A and B are shown apart, each in its own frame.
Chain A
Amino acid sequence: MTDIGFVRADMVDAKPAPNRTSGVIAWAQKNLFATPLDGVLTVLGLIFLLWIIPPIYNFFIGHAVGPGGTVEECRMENAGACWAYISSEMEFFIYGFYDIPQQWRPNIVFALGAALLIPLLIPKVPFKRTNAVLFLFVYPVVSYFLLAGGVFGLSPIPTEKWGGLLVTLIISVVGITLSFPLGIILALGRQSKMPVIKTLCIGFIELVRAVPLISVLFMASIMLPLFMPQGMTIDKFLRALVGVTLFTSAYMAEVVRGGLQAIPRGQYEAGASLGLSYWQRMYFIILPQALKHVIPGIVNSFIALFKDTSLVYIVGMKDLLEAVKTKNDTALEWQSANTATTGYLFAAMVFWVFCFSMSRYSIYMERRLNTGYKR
């Protein structure tokens, strides 16, 4: 019979973990050439890259016609992207048909927007409350009067003339800032115990979510005027804005609802047992946690909205993509093999920059908000 008794005589001290092999060669060995098959795949991958990179480089940079180039260069055999076309038509891509001498007005709107939004997004910058009030309440009013004119001696410029990136950004920013709170309200309403509110919210969400955005925009632009009193019109741009906002808010509501359901019932109860009212509970306890859980979903909706702004061409608005398309089709003086491609590439790059920024910012925010759970 073996002796099963044991008493430890010395405690074992903690010691550092064994060194890991590091360095380029060790890394390559482990990740690229671990087995013969890995080696073959690595070589094949390298060949593929060597095959694909030079033409891409040549199209975008090597043989491309830079800003300031001429259309003749763009029409040459082997010419790459025609950036000269983009730079010469940049004004149209940014402002659409907005009166050229008045373009300082959108410029101020852009600058003001950046000046207010960027500090709002950086957590360390102080005066968040003032900043938010300015951005959410003052800025839209100022922007509207600046862009539309008709007051303070500014010449009126109808929304039909607005276009390009200006329209894309206005619809996105307004859509995002309005659909977010609206979505939260709808999500809370859907969970409400009051049957009327609950039914209304479910009805709205399920109706809007089940139709394509295009049809929402169509309805907004064609059906809505039919229900309006005679002689009363609502600006087409405003209708598109409302359409996009309502559409996104329905999606947002479902995303937020997902977050609300992830919060344990104990959190609601703890808030209630402390005497906090329904709205206090939601604002201080439930929503901060719920929204944090669904940041990826929220940003997904924002990105979808940003890209869906292109659909306003359906109701005759010229957003960035439509402005590019219009120019591609009409700028005969710039016609060349790659003009249209370059135009669309430019639009795609602009969309990508904005969407990718949103994505990166959301990842940053997720990490920052992670404090509550770190051990």
Chain B
Amino acid sequence: MSQVSETTVAPTARSTMQISDTNVAIEVIGMHKWYADFHVLRDINLKVMEGERIVIAGPSGSGKSTLIRCINRLEEHQEGQIIVNGTELTADLKRIDEVRREVGMVFQHFNLFPHLTILQNLTLAPIWVRGIPKAEAEATAMHYLERVKIPEQANKFPGQLSGGQQQRVAIARSLCMQPRIMLFDEPTSALDPEMVKEVLEVMISLAEDGMTMLCVTHEMGFARQVANRVIFMDQGQIIEQNEPEAFFSNPQHERTKLFLSQILH
């Protein structure tokens, strides 16, 4: 568990992260999901306002990854409603694509396209999904590569980059679609310890820019600094949620206490 040093976030950062009072980014209502007979998600209710930064924590197998994967329909839910940016996710492919265009996702294992250069990884979707001219897409891609501090890698292939660099490229790739919501599925879990920080810094700067973020992560330092809400899940349900300060200093549920005692040492 690596801790991000407190100095990486400017003291004023938190106050600049505006959370909308009226605009709902994601709304999950009474959602259930089964893998065959296994009930993985049970009665999930969650409302995320624009600009919120939510960290989802919980033991492995608690359904936290499955939950955020439902939000861009990488997984299908069987009961209840998921409404993203006002669009309800159903089997309708058009709606699914509509939602996916506005929701970026960063995976544990980066999932860059190994046969394409970094620049091609970044421009593929903007060109073919958004219909942006190639030159413009490349300019945007370079902008985001600079933002994640690796513009010099643009013409390399993913296999030539370190894990931390690959994950930053993956974040830049999502940003190139100019999403309104970003989902992070354990983005630092597959990284060597010395590379965790560089990825977290990018995520923090995203948060400072007011991006709506849902992060499944074990980086409790990140949760403390950036999240405005921490959600604790176990056995497919939301057990507890609170502001980070209260969540860490004064957990209510027994499971939360147990979990925190196991990871914070």
Interface residues of A (CB under 8 A from B): 264, 266-267, 269-277, 280, 284-285, 288-289, 292, 369, 371-375
Instruction: Name A's interface SS.
Output: helix
Which of B115, B129, B157, B177 has the most chain A CB atoms closer than 10 A to its own CB? B115
User: Are B160 and A270 in touch, CB under 8 angstroms?
Assistant: no
- Whether A275 pairs with B112 at a CB distance below 8 angstroms is no
- Shortest beta-carbon distance, A86 to chain B, in Å? 46
B159:A372 contact, CB within 8 angstroms: yes
Of residues 84 through 127 on chain B, the ones whose CB sits less than 8 Å from some CB of chain A are: 97, 100-101, 103-105, 107, 109, 111-116, 124-125
Count: A-B pairs, CB below 8 Å: 76
Q: With A284-B124, A374-B160 as given contacts, are A273 and B105 in contact (CB-CB < 8 Å)?
A: yes
Q: Are the C-beta atoms of B125 and A375 separated by less than 8 Å?
A: no
Chain B, range 156-184, C-beta contacts under 8 Å to A: 157-160, 170, 173-174, 177
Subset of 23 A-B contacts with CB under 8 Å: A267-B113, A269-B105, A269-B111, A270-B170, A272-B74, A272-B100, A273-B105, A273-B174, A274-B129, A274-B174, A274-B177, A275-B100, A277-B97, A277-B129, A280-B128, A284-B128, A288-B115, A289-B113, A372-B157, A372-B159, A373-B114, A374-B157, A375-B160
- In angstroms, Cα B111 to Cα A292, docked, is 18
Q: How far is the CB of A159 from chain B (nearest CB, A)?
A: 42
Task: Identify 5 new A-B residue pairs, CB closer than 8 A, beyond the known A372-B159, A374-B159.
Answer: A266-B111, A267-B113, A270-B107, A276-B129, A369-B115
Which residues of chain A are within 8 angstroms of B188 by Cβ–Cβ distance?
A: none
Taking CB atoms, residues of chain B closer than 8 Å to A270 are: 105, 107, 111-113, 170
Docked CA distance A373–B116 (Å): 10
Report the nearest A residue to B158, measured CB to CB. A372
Q: Is the CB of A372 within 8 A of B124?
A: no
The docked-state distance in angstroms from the alpha carbon of A54 to that of B115 is 50
Q: Which of B100, B124, B128 contacts A273 (CB 8 A)?
A: B100
From B97, B111, B124, B170, A267 is in contact (CB under 8 Å) with B111
Q: Is B72 an interface residue (CB 8 A)?
A: yes
Q: How many residues of B contact A (CB 8 A)?
A: 28
Q: Determine the chain B residues whose CB is within 8 A of the CB of A267 once the complex forms.
A: 111, 113
A276 to B177, CA, bound (A): 11
Considering the complex, give the chain B residue whose CB is closest to the CB of A372: B115
Q: Please report the C-alpha to C-alpha distance between residue A183 and residue B158 in the assembled complex, in whole angstroms.
A: 30
> Which B residue's beta carbon lies closest to that of A283?
B128
- Smallest CB–CB gap between B164 and chain A, Å? 16
How many angstroms from the CA of A375 to the CA of B156 in the assembled complex? 10
B residues in contact with A280, CB < 8 Å: 128-129
Give the shortest distance, in Å, between A268 (CB) and chain B (any CB). 9
User: Closest approach, in angstroms, between the C-beta of B98 and any C-beta of chain A?
Assistant: 8
Question: Which residues of A are found within 8 Å of B104, using beta-carbon distances?
Answer: 273
Complex contacts, B72 vs chain A, CB 8 Å: 272-273
Taking the closest CB of chain B, its distance from the CB of A95, in whole angstroms, is 43
Beta-carbon contact of A273 and B114 below 8 Å: no
Pairwise interchain contact B74-A273, C-beta atoms closer than 8 A: yes
Q: How far is the CB of A280 from chain B (nearest CB, A)?
A: 5
Bound-complex Cα distance A267 to B109 (A): 10
Chain A residues with CB under 8 A of B112? 270
In Å, the complex CA distance between A362 and B232 comes to 53
Q: Are B107 and A269 in contact (CB under 8 A)?
A: yes
Interface centre among A280, A372, A374 (most CB of B within 10 A): A372
- Cβ-defined contact, B74 with A275, below 8 A: no
Give the residue among B97, B114, B159, B174 with the most A Cβ atoms within 10 A. Answer: B114
Determine whether the beta carbon of A266 is less than 8 Å from that of B109.
yes
The answer to whether A274 and B124 touch (CB under 8 A), given A266-B109, A288-B115, is: yes
Task: Select which of B105, B107, B116 is within 8 A of A372 by beta carbon.
Answer: B116
Q: Is the CB of A275 within 8 A of B107?
A: no
Cα-based distance from A288 to B114 in the complex (angstroms): 10
Residues of A within 8 A of B159 (CB): 372-375
